[in-house]
Amino acid sequence: MPPILERPRSDSAPVLLRFCSGVLRGAPGRSPPRTFSARLSRQTFRVRGRPARLRSMTSSHPPLSADEATRGPSSQLWDAHTAVRYDDTLGWMGTPEAVEPAVDLLEQLADGGTALEFAVGSGRIAVPLAARGVPVHGIELSEPMVEQLRAKADAERIPVTVGDMATAHVPGRFSLVYLVYNTISNLLTQQEQVACFRNAARHLMPGGRFVVELGVPPLRRLPPGQLTCPFDVSEEHLGFDVIDPVTQRLTSYHHWPRRGEQGRSEQRYAWPAELDLMAQMAGMELERRTADWHGAEFTADSEQHISVWRLPLGAAESPDPAAQTTRAP
Ligand SMILES: C[S@@+](CC[C@H](N)C(=O)[O-])C[C@H]1O[C@@H](n2cnc3c(N)ncnc32)[C@H](O)[C@@H]1O
């Protein structure tokens, strides 16, 4: 079902959504989110048109099926309204306390090589990583988000391929591919998430690493028999998540009674173990999983994880796929 989101009547900022816990009162705060959180807009998301068909290729990673190559992504499209507000509403996720540990680890994992960020957005991570001297390329679905990045770094400094991170190809091989801020859950089907792992592996040189930052699905917070979970009940805003354990779809509903606004956003949640299997299908092995960018131990109570999978050093390098969409706005 296509995403449905009613356009707010006022020109207000997007909010930080939290799955099933935490308090959300208007714009996000400047304290670390404790739970699976993702920035989504209560804008009208448009479903993106079909991307161009990819050239077929032979590789150790299977080429995209005709279906994969022609189907557009399920992700909701971040439009201009959302993009221009993105940086101003990052809250804690935009602070040095959140960004620097991530950049520290990514720089270390790039190991002197080049990096590719899936869903690079406005460059929250790519810009400081490039400033450390790591060559960074991005893939991004939303051209308005790339325009925000262009205000900070030109196409020579951080080239961006406009396309779907599950299918788009960038020339070259990277020592690091990374996908942060829960964004793999923007791909709403398991098939696309699997394709995203395969696409990461296709872009890695042997020994290269794929890093994902993602929340742990908040199912333990649900009382038995209940699939709806409020995450904010205030005079300003009513927010609740509806979880479908069959499809692993999490839908967040919002209502702002005073403004007469409402909205809805969708994600597909996945357990760490499911991601490990996706990595395995793509020929990668789990190297480490921590609860945060500082390296805290991942435990049963962890609400997010930073996972690092590695393409074995002996893995056959797949031929460099021809660039699918190499526009560089
Ligand atoms: C939460 S933002 C993260 C941006 C950036 N990585 C950061 O950490 O600030 C999610 C981004 O994912 C992009 N996105 C969503 N689905 C995508 C897809 N299928 N392929 C590429 N980008 C996608 C959105 O346009 C948006 O810029």
**Number of alpha carbons in the 13 Å side-chain half-sphere of residue 212:** 29
What is the pTM (predicted TM-score) of this model? 0.80
Q: Does residue 129 sit within a domain?
A: yes
Q: Does residue 146 sit within a domain?
A: yes
Kindly state the tokens that stand for 72: 């557009």
Give the nearest ligand 1 atom to 142 CA: 25
Centre of ligand 1 from the C-alpha of residue 75, in Å: 9
- Find out whether the beta carbon of 71 lies less than 6 Å from any atom of ligand 1: no
Give the nearest ligand 1 atom to 119 CA: 22
Strand partners, 232: 239
Pocket test residue of 81, 186, 213 for ligand 1, highest count of atoms within 8 A of CB:
186
Can you give the pLDDT at residue 73?
A: 83
Q: Residue 108: how many CB atoms within 10 A of its CB?
A: 10
Buried b (16+ CB within 10 A) or exposed e, 11-46: eeebbbbbbbbbebeebbeeeebebbbbbbbbbbbe
CA 205 – CA 282 distance, rounded (Å): 13
Sheet holding 174-179, edge to edge: 160-162, 136-140, 115-118, 174-179, 204-215, 304-310, 285-290
Structural domain for 147, as ranges: 15-49+57-218+266-310
β-pair type (160-162, 136-140): parallel
Kindly state the tokens that stand for 327: 């526009």
- Find out whether the beta carbon of 180 lies less than 6 Å from any atom of ligand 1: yes
Q: Does residue 105 sit within a domain?
A: yes
Q: Does residue 154 sit within a domain?
A: yes
Q: Does residue 260 sit within a domain?
A: no
Give the nearest ligand 1 atom to 74 CA: 19
Q: Phi first, then psi: what are they for 93, rounded to 5°? A: -65, -15
Q: Does residue 106 sit within a domain?
A: yes
CA 228 – CA 242 distance, rounded (Å): 4
Centre of ligand 1 from the C-alpha of residue 116, in Å: 13
- Find out whether the beta carbon of 130 lies less than 6 Å from any atom of ligand 1: no
Q: Does residue 235 sit within a domain?
A: no
- Find out whether the beta carbon of 268 lies less than 6 Å from any atom of ligand 1: no
CATH of the domain at 80: 3.40.50.150
Can you give the pLDDT at residue 158?
A: 98
In the chain (329 residues long), the average pLDDT of successive 10-residue segments reads 31 34 32 40 29 26 47 81 90 95 98 98 98 98 97 98 97 97 95 98 98 92 89 89 93 89 89 98 98 98 96 74 43
- Find out whether the beta carbon of 124 lies less than 6 Å from any atom of ligand 1: yes
Identity at 99, one-letter amino acid code:
V
Q: Does residue 230 sit within a domain?
A: no
CA 78 – CA 14 distance, rounded (Å): 11
Segment (H or E) for 136: strand 136-140
* 90-116 tens-digit pLDDT: 889 999 999 999 999 999 999 999 999
Is residue 191 within 8 Å of 248, Cβ to Cβ?
no
3-class DSSP state of 227: coil
- Find out whether the beta carbon of 93 lies less than 6 Å from any atom of ligand 1: no
The total domain count for the chain is: 1
